[in-house]
Amino acid sequence: MSLLTTEEYKAIAAGLSFPTTAFIDGHFRPAISGKTFDTLNPATGQVLAKVAACGPEDVDLAVQKARDAFEDGRWSRLHPKDRKETLIKLAKLVKRNARELAVLESLDSGKTIYDCEQVDVPETINCLTWHAELIDKIYDQVAPASDNHIAMIVREPVGVVGLVLPWNFPLLMLAWKIGPALAAGCSVIVKPAEETPLTTLRMAELAMEAGIPPGVFNIIPGTGPDVGEPIGRHMDIDAVSFTGSTETGRRFLRYAAESNLKEVTLEMGGKNPAVVLDDAENLDRVAAHVVNGAFWNMGENCSASSRLIVQKGIKDALLKRIVAHTREWPMGDPLDPTNRVGALVSKAHFDKVASYLEKGPKVILGGKAEKGFVEPTILDTPRDAKQAREEIFGPVLSVLTVDSFDEAIALANATDYGLAASIFTSNVKRAIRGARALRAGTVTVNSFGEGDISTPFGGFKQSGFGGRDNGIHAHDQYTQVKTIWVDLADDADEAVA
């Protein structure tokens, strides 16, 4: 999609109407309590809208309606081709409203319109379409058995699912979850992050227009304690898929343990290494990948390459190129399509990220934080510094120096996280050995990335477990496997035998 001018994007923004209420059983409705909360434009501090601040009673109502929908089969037992056609229609509606969604996402999150137009919205459409097309292409199995038996292994939707979204990719993470969940036949309760509820609520309007039946797709905006915890503890929710911080992910495990032992899938934080060995080719290209990995989406990305681990012999040459590429990432008004770095999502998050820049390692580039914006920053970081160990979730790259391949891999793995990693080398054997040795769910060779919609995404260690997003594996989160054993013997005694 071609980009517009800043003035044209601002004209679109001025004409937007913001959805503000919960969506339950096919209807928009205020919170039962009548409470609201403000959602802000992080770049200006302006209040965009007052959104329904839901609570446990709203969760109860949504779960009841979702359970009714699931049990009567209006979606769960719909023919796969009919679910497919409905989700494809939803994807087409997203495409038809793509520009509006991109502007709405930028206003609510501080993300650049460049990323919203070029990455987030197109990938949302691709994700919904991909999972829709997969619905009638996942086959069940027949196990080997005797002539007197048939053993069928079938997938069934898990039931009512809570989907708890992060604020860094509101629209795309919604698609990552509802794509496979709705494809499987589940009914869903979506909790958008309180910082970024608007595009999720707009998607409810499109889902209704696409023909997703009432009760199947429900959205409950509100805080973690008021909505997230009641979802995690609800006795009639069968599974929860959560993307967010490791600290909050731990809570969902406790909620499940203390309630109905619902299935929990966690996709959480990362402190991801980009390992550059001294035989890496084309350092200019390597630098471009490192910069993109570190500063894309303002570093508010669980798979961000926040640690550059580089062999001593090429450190200076690589840093020179990294600094040059970083200067090509201008920061400013998110609705200006020439900007690549926008505002951090909230005042609280800005304060957290800025605190890592107040005192600490030597600043190679950047280091300024003001009025919600943090410059892309490169630090020459000691290994024991908190900037090298803790997930900052901002545009901050820590540079760590090593002498050897073995030292680089050991340092890359010296973290509680294990979501993503990159290795840059011209030696095929070292690339494969390194990729195998790196303890991360996704390892890219000579590039930064997360794979694509066809490849599973998720982490090792404290980056998450319980399932994967993307790919066929994503459907495992939202289905249960059942064995159906059919006895064909005529004689009862023979059947027993």
Pairing of strands 149-157, 479-487: antiparallel
Distance CA 488, CA 497 (A): 13
Size of the chain in residues = 497
Distance CA 481, CA 151 (A): 13
**Enzyme catalytic residues:** 267, 302
- pLDDT at residue 492 above 90? no
Which pLDDT score, from 0 to 100, does residue 490 have?
Answer: 85
Distance CA 369, CA 385 (A): 20
> Tell me: the pLDDT tens digits for 143-192?
999 999 999 999 999 999 999 999 999 999 999 999 999 999 999 999 99
Give the torsion sign (CA, 314, 316, 319, 325). Answer: negative
Pairing of strands 263-267, 47-52: unpaired
- Residue 485: in which H helix or E strand, if any? strand 479-487
- pLDDT at residue 269 above 70? yes
> Tell me: the pLDDT tens digits for 69-86?
999 999 999 999 999 999
Q: Which residues contact 232 (CB under 8 A, 6 or more apart)?
A: 162, 240, 251, 252, 255, 256, 259
Mean pLDDT, the chain, integer: 97
What is the CB neighbour count within 10 angstroms for residue 185? 23
Distance CA 50, CA 207 (A): 22
- pLDDT at residue 56 above 70? yes
- pLDDT at residue 491 above 90? no
Distance CA 473, CA 454 (A): 9
- pLDDT at residue 497 above 70? no
Half-sphere exposure for 378 (CA within 13 Å, toward CB): 21
Average pLDDT over residues 461-465: 95
The strand ranges marked E within 1-116 are: 22-24, 27-29, 36-40, 47-52
Classify burial at 183, counting beta carbons within 10 Å of its beta carbon; exposed 0-12, middle 13-18, buried 19 or more: buried
> Tell me: the pLDDT tens digits for 280-338?
999 999 999 999 999 999 999 999 999 999 999 999 999 999 999 999 999 999 999 99
Distance CA 13, CA 425 (A): 45
Distance CA 29, CA 7 (A): 34
Which pLDDT score, from 0 to 100, does residue 59 have?
Answer: 98
Please check whether residue 17 is in contact with residue 28, taking contact to mean a CB–CB distance below 8 angstroms: no
Which pLDDT score, from 0 to 100, does residue 360 have?
Answer: 82
What is the CB neighbour count within 10 angstroms for residue 275? 28
- pLDDT at residue 494 above 70? no
Distance CA 81, CA 283 (A): 49
Please check whether residue 161 is in contact with residue 173, taking contact to mean a CB–CB distance below 8 angstroms: no
Give percent of the chain with pLDDT exceeding 70: 99
Task: Give the model's confidence band at 496: pLDDT under 50 very low, under 70 low, under 90 confident, else very high.
Answer: low
- pLDDT at residue 375 above 80? yes
> Tell me: the pLDDT tens digits for 357-371?
998 899 999 999 999
3-state SS of the chain: helix, strand, coil percent to 5?
40, 20, 35
Give percent of the chain with pLDDT exceeding 90: 98
Instruction: Find where tokens 């949302």 sit.
Output: 124
Please check whether residue 273 is in contact with residue 297, taking contact to mean a CB–CB distance below 8 angstroms: no
Please check whether residue 275 is in contact with residue 421, taking contact to mean a CB–CB distance below 8 angstroms: yes
Closest CA to 450 of 465, 440, 439, 460: 440
Half-sphere exposure for 485 (CA within 13 Å, toward CB): 3
Please check whether residue 3 is in contact with residue 190, taking contact to mean a CB–CB distance below 8 angstroms: no
- pLDDT at residue 49 above 60? yes
Distance CA 79, CA 157 (A): 13
Distance CA 448, CA 420 (A): 9
pTM: 0.96
What is the CB neighbour count within 10 angstroms for residue 338? 13
Task: Give the model's confidence band at 35: pLDDT under 50 very low, under 70 low, under 90 confident, else very high.
Answer: very high
Helix (H/G/I), strand (E/B), else coil: 394 = coil
> Tell me: the pLDDT tens digits for 195-240?
999 999 999 999 999 999 999 999 999 999 999 999 999 999 999 9
Helix (H/G/I), strand (E/B), else coil: 32 = coil
Distance CA 186, CA 196 (A): 24
Angle subtended at Cα 157 by Cα 153 and Cα 158, rounded to the nearest 5 degrees: 105
